[in-house]
Amino acid sequence: MKITILIIITSCCVFPFVFANLRLGFYGVSCPKAEAIVRDVVQRHFNKDRSITAALLRMHFHDCFVRGCDASLLIDPTGNRSSEKDAVPNRTVRGYDVIDDAKSILERACPETVSCADIISLATRDAVALAGGPSYNVPTGRRDGLVSNPKEVRLPSPTLSVSEAMQSFAAKGFSLIEMVTLVGGGHSVGVAHCSMFRERLSSFRGGSVDPTMDPDLDARLVQLCGSSNRPATNDPTVFLDLNTPFAFDNRFCNQILERRGILHFDQQLAMDESSRDMVSRFATDGDILFQNFANAMIKLSAVNVWLDNEGEIRRNCRAFN
């Protein structure tokens, strides 16, 4: 009953927060085909590479959790100016080609009208739906930011405890259930590099298996990542969802309940007394995960947005006007 109440509160309270600032159908007059254009571009990329869902989810999160959803992550560094792309957590972010393709078409159809920040939010929504996840409406009207500073990139580390990570999410206005939702859904299609979790492996712990990790999983990951004496080259990746890595579903939640979480933080969500009941509920009822994920994503896409005459509408998402 406790979890059900939390979920109902989350669903009811997200929308006033969002719709007070952004609007559904913002481009209905100025660029009527904007959302269809983005959807078509995402479909083409998804048809070639289903991992694009994970890439766009990560891009969206990394953008919104720094200065807000202002597309500051998209800015390329130049010879005399660094950007958020230079920050260590962002060096493996990908999916920029999807945004570039959509922006190019939109600039021909409706010059200087659709923001790069809106393209990220719309593209992520469409990629989630294509992967079998929830379909949801994204209010639009964001403007693009004017600053991209790598020193401002402070994202929650995968080595944090639940309480430590919650501090970062709470600072952005998110509740515990929303944090669990975003991770439980987002990591159902994600990947992680060995460098992000190898300290959990017996080959990096003097032969001792992490008690929070299934021994069979440890053995599998040791083969991939190597050991402290001979780590694998090129920092290989592994799917966070070992069963259905390209499908947005609740299998990831079931997996971490079985001590088969790849990242320390993911596994802690299934073990910490503050969050494990929420993970269990999502594991048994995918519909609740879908509903809450849609609401949490709408809320995420509204974090510290630029509106009206603030910022700009970039002509090229990789450079300030």
Question: Which are the catalytic amino acids?
Answer: 62
List phi, psi (to 5°) of 150: -60, -25
Q: Write out the DSSP string of 198-244.
A: GGGSGGGTTTPPPTTS-HHHHHHHHHHHB-SSSBPTT--EEESSSS-
Instruction: For residues 63 and 231, give the distance between their C-alpha atoms in angstroms, rounded to a whole number.
Output: 31
Q: What are 3's two structure tokens? A: 């979890």
Residue among 124, 21, 143 at smallest CA distance from 71: 143
DSSP state of 42: H
Beta bridge partners of 319: 316
No. of helices (H) and no. of strands (E), the chain: 12, 2
Closest CA to 311 of 141, 81, 77: 141
